[in-house]
A and B are shown apart, each in its own frame.
Chain A
């Protein structure tokens, strides 16, 4: 297809997420998108990754934002840079911005983004791929009576590199780091990182489920237990709006992934089994059981990554976002609140244990 009919994409940050998720996804959607420029602070990485898609490269954010061929900006940098980059992309007058989750690290940042997005008219889409997952959407449409008393997110994964290597050939990875689980601050970082790096995939979905029966405002979120689990992960038990929510995530060297979001009420049970990140293995498989009957929503070949890029294509052409900014902000506030409360609780527990 002629370049003028395709949406030009610029990407800020060329790490494993860009290499293993967004570039393969954009190749699948090459009738709609073309990558025109990639920026990374590491020139060699920027150049190498851009060469894969015959795009220009730069180490300068402003150069990418000033490029008129860049119509849509994807922000795949470390979390701390997200807010400023989203705002800069909006002010640059782009057609749309896709920001990896979390799109900000504080409620104040989120509010600033919403304000600038509204002022500039540039829509923002958050890369919460499970919110766009076809299996999840089908399950929610067909389980409207489910009013959960219990929700559980359990994510068991091998190290990311296993799946990145199935999706692409990665240049540069973050260095591994040592962990002292007797250090309260280290434990707090593991829990917070787990919530904002892993559980955050499911938190917008959990909020949708809980909102059926109660409030998910910060005042209605109570962390009942928070800790790390071996070999590397978190276990957090919450009460949210009267619903007991369990967040469990483990990364081990074992090859076998298991990613389930489950919800129960007295008469029905929903189980959504997601495919691992990175691997472009299609949508989730959702199972809904009620009154002696189990319905399985057949997985689709396209996954949430494709759907979120299709959404970017829609909003870049002027359609209203499926997920309004107010919901994105509330989702982020929910995630940040849980991460804050859970990491505080985990830190306190370790400090008390080591002091005893």
Chain B
């Protein structure tokens, strides 16, 4: 049996992620260690300055880094090692199946991605999360995006993917309902809808497809994006494979920054 991989949590500044709880659900794969020890997997918060922390982690011997919700717009030209980007919504394990379903829809159909966020939420990070979900669910890059409406109550963004697919991103601020993201595409003769919860608990994403045969729900996966990211990190260490999650981080951060700046100057 493989020995548990050691994990360092020292760089986490946001205890809301509660990675310790997630680690406890993978006790054979991981063992948490003191910060002074060399770790196999370094878990790093994606707030300002994360590129330096990632490089430090590899310099100190980490074999893989799990980077949680990078939103600062920073990037790394060349990472010294594999980095798994842990996105609350894009990283939900249901998104892989969702992506498979969406591949069958014409790119002329509107992709709606809508988030409800709590009052006081940091909008740029939430927007980065939606941009990442757009890519993860369709495997397409956004090539065009503009803010259509913004207020203290939220944001409406109209975008387009490289394949021409129109995209509508909305963020609505309210404490009335839990933070979550919904996604919908209505095609000529079928539709897909998904509700992806925040990662504070292991509520499953709900993905339904309606077509000429009726409506079916994809299997529910009671796993948060954090746990899925840790499993990926484990598999990378054990297989020796690389990870290219960082490629998109800079682009998402830059686009989110541009869009948020446009709301400040409009």
Residues of A within 8 A of B (CB): 149-150, 156, 224-225, 227, 229-231, 235, 237, 239, 242, 244, 246, 250, 252-256, 264-269, 289-290
Q: Report the count of interface residues on B (CB-CB < 8 A).
A: 33
* Chain A residues, Cβ within 8 Å of B148: 224-225, 237
Check B149 against A224 for contact (C-beta < 8 Å): yes
B151 at the interface (CB under 8 A from A): yes
Which of A252, A267, A269 contacts B191 (CB under 8 A)?
A252
Q: How far is the CB of B138 from chain A (nearest CB, A)?
A: 15
Residue in A closest to B147 when the chains form the complex, CB atoms: A224
Q: For the complex formed, measure the closest distance between the CB of B55 and the CB atoms of chain A, giving whole angstroms.
A: 40
With A150-B153, A225-B158, A253-B189 known as contacts, the answer to whether A289 contacts B215 (CB < 8 A) is no
Q: Is B106 an interface residue (CB 8 A)?
A: yes
Binding site for A on B (CB under 8 A): 106, 108-110, 116, 119, 148-149, 151-154, 156, 158, 166, 168, 170, 172-177, 186-191, 210-212, 215
* Chain B: minimal CB distance from A353 (Å): 12
| Residue among B152, B186, B187 having the largest count of chain A Cβ atoms under 10 Å | B186
Q: A237-B156, A252-B187 are in contact. Are A264 and B110 (CB under 8 A)?
A: no
Given A244-B151, A254-B189, A256-B210, do A149 and B215 touch, yes or no (CB 8 Å)? no
10 contacts between A and B (CB under 8 A): A149-B173, A229-B166, A230-B109, A231-B109, A231-B188, A237-B156, A254-B210, A255-B212, A265-B174, A268-B174
On whether A266 and B110 interact (CB within 8 A), knowing A244-B149, A254-B186, the answer reads no
Identify A269's interface contact among B151, B152, B170, B176, CB under 8 A.
B176
B151 proximity list for chain A (CB < 8 A) = 149, 242, 244
B152 contacts A267, CB within 8 Å?
no
Return chain A residues, CB-CB under 8 Å to B106. Answer: 230
Residue pair A290, B176 in contact (C-beta under 8 Å): yes
Q: Is the pair A266, B174 in contact by a Cβ cutoff of 8 Å?
A: yes
B residues in contact with A150, CB < 8 Å: 153-154, 172
Least CB distance, B153 to chain A, in whole angstroms = 3
Cβ-defined contact, A254 with B211, below 8 A: yes
